[in-house]
Chains A and B, each alone.
Chain A
Amino acid sequence: MSAAVLARHEPVMGTVVSLRIDHDDGDTGGLEAAVEEAVAELHRLDRIFSTWKPESPLSRWRRGELPLEELPPEVPEVLARCAEAKMTTAGYFDPWAMAGGVDPTGLVKGWAIERAASLLPRDEVLGTLVNGGGDIAASGSEEGRHPWRVGIRHPWRPEALACVVELAGGRAIATSGRYERGEHLIDPHAAATGQPRGALVVSASVVGPSLAMADAYATALAVAGEDERPLGGVLAAGYEVYRIFEQGREEASDGFPFLAEGTTPAGARHR
């Protein structure tokens, strides 16, 4: 029995979401149906949560055209997760502080990908990987051989990686940074005080069980600089953190799952 890969790339949520199922050779009809279901879910959630689409329920609520009670149940669910993330991050993740009204975008992408990934089969396949613009949810392993290996983009060198991590046991990773268009990175504290907080974080990666929370935590840590309060909350919640500061200083929590030194991303490429 050999491993095979089923892959799908779907433009949705303003990016391309890649879904991949590694499985033993055989009938893939059921797997393809599961991928279709996951893709359909992504589009459905995009229609609900898009802040770019004026007709989305979220947009209508933001404009005051819809009461909260009439919104799809996914909206209060997401807002509850947002409230949890706000508390954990000492207010650095705060959708309620965004100009233009409540904007849960910083959590929604990870949440939607996590949800789509949960629709893929787990037990009867070798592994699944869902990657939406760098927010990645994994289960199982790559071709049944080793934990999924994911590179973290280097903040200043788009052609390079800062490091490679292994995602084992259904964990997820999200990275937020100032190298991308960063309008969504708003520091609610700095906005209030006008004071930056020490060295800037140029890239923050968070690994843990929930991609929704990892997404929000990475956003918070990218704006928190050297204020260590959100870091403490995120670590206490059971997530691992890797940050790159301006001028290249790197800090990682003890359990951050770096691919072991000496293991190249190429793996077996070097005999």
Chain B
Amino acid sequence: MTRRTPLVSAAAMAGLGIVLLAHVGAEPRLLASSPSSAGGGSGNASSRGGSSSSGSSVSGTASGALEQYGYGELAVKLTVQKGRIVSATVTGLRTADTYSQQIAAQVIPMLRKEVLAAQSAKISGISGATYTCSAYATSVQSALDKLHLK
């Protein structure tokens, strides 16, 4: 067995927001609207109509579907300006018990921050994700779908 250096590089930390989005298959499209990825040459061939640094012109607000996550349910409301997510808020959060409530209270602000901060990293999934993450990601995606940011 090999010992590894301490946990978590900055690069890795940048990843989760995308993980959430990539997890729901949205990241190639989001990448297209992220200035930081422009000229990266990553060949996001799946971003149909992939705009580069000019970004998408999509603006608006949409609420995602109410998603079950095993121990409760939540919905995410997104506001998009010129193709970038500028706000993500949890609009409907019901949890089955106090413990789940505590977990959700800790996790959701972090998920929100990451969705806003990291729209450009590139991995395709996350192992060990929580139920909450999946529900959040799915609701984000459905809100994006409504905004046609895809």
Give A residues with C-beta under 8 Å from B. Answer: 2-5, 7-9, 11, 14-16, 18, 20, 22, 129, 131, 133-136, 142-143, 145, 148-155, 157-165, 173-177, 179-181, 203, 205, 241, 244, 248-254, 256, 264-271
Contact = CB atoms under 8 A, between A and B. Distances in A.
Interface in B67-106: 67-71, 99-100, 103, 106
Given A134-B129, A269-B37, A150 B3 contact: no
Contact of A149 (B8, B123, B138): B123
B129 to A, nearest CB: 4
Q: Which of B1, B24, B103, B107 counts the most A-chain CB atoms under 10 A from its CB? A: B1
A153 B128 contact: yes
B49 to A, nearest CB: 12
Contacts of B129: 131, 133-134, 153
B25 interface: yes
Given A251-B2, A252-B1, A181 B8 contact: no
B7 A266 contact: no
Given A5-B25, A18-B23, A271 B39 contact: yes
B35 to A, nearest CB: 11
Interface string B121-150: 111111111110111011001000000000
A159 B37 contact: no
Given A2-B45, A164-B123, A7 B24 contact: yes
The interface centre, meaning the residue of B23, B36, B37, B141 with most chain A CB atoms within 10 A of its CB, is: B23
A135 B127 contact: yes
Interface string B8-49: 100111111011000111101000000011011111011010
B111 interface: yes
B134 to A, nearest CB: 4
Nearest to B31: A269
Interface string B108-121: 00110110000011
A266 B122 contact: yes
Q: Which 5 A-B pairs have the closest CB atoms?
A: A7-B25, A268-B42, A175-B128, A2-B45, A153-B128
B133 to A, nearest CB: 7
- Chain A binding surface SS class: strand
Interface residues of B, number: 62
Given A9-B24, A11-B67, A151-B125, 9 more contacts: A7-B25, A9-B138, A18-B24, A131-B126, A133-B134, A157-B8, A162-B7, A253-B2, A265-B11
A232 to B, nearest CB: 11
A134 B128 contact: yes
A11 B68 contact: yes
> Which of B8, B13, B125 has the largest number of chain A CB atoms within 10 A?
B125
Nearest to A256: B2
Given A175-B127, A252-B2, A15 B45 contact: no
Contacts of B24: 7, 9, 18
Contacts of A266: 11, 14-15, 40, 120-122
A110 B26 CA distance: 24
20 contacts: A2-B46, A7-B24, A9-B25, A9-B138, A133-B134, A134-B128, A134-B130, A143-B45, A150-B127, A151-B12, A151-B16, A158-B110, A161-B13, A162-B8, A176-B128, A181-B100, A181-B103, A265-B123, A269-B40, A269-B121
